[in-house]
Amino acid sequence: MRDRGEWVTDFLRYHVLIRVFDGDAGAWLEVLSQKQASAPDMVFVEWIGDRLRAEPQLLTHLRELVDSSGLWPAPDDGRHTT
């Protein structure tokens, strides 16, 4: 079973995926590769990238969850209409 710290880390990773990389796991993976990031981050990004390719509608769901969390408000730039 995963501990609370792992759940919190994944929660924050979803926010980074949506807010920093606009849902583009490939772009995030490229940055991680260049910076020789930690293995857990790489594993997460590879996993979510696979999920997003298999389930394209998941990105909309993740955007809605991140938006509704209130942790990291969406930029007011008109990019998203969720």
pLDDT in tens, 46-81: 999 999 999 999 999 999 999 999 898 887 755 554
Dist. CA 44–CA 49, nearest whole Å: 8
The pair of structure tokens assigned to 4 is 């609370």
pLDDT at 1: 53
pLDDT at 2: 58
Residues 6+ apart with CB under 8 A from 33: 42
pLDDT in tens, 30-43: 999 898 878 899 99
**Which H, E and C letters describe 24-74, residue by residue?**
CHHHHHHHHHHCCCCHHHHHHHHHHHHHHHHCCCHHHHHHHHHHHHCCCCC
Domain ranges of the chain: 9-69
Dist. CA 32–CA 21, nearest whole Å: 12
48 C-beta neighbours (distance < 10 Å), count = 21
pLDDT at 77: 58
pLDDT at 78: 57
pLDDT at 81: 46
CA 33 to chain centre: 16
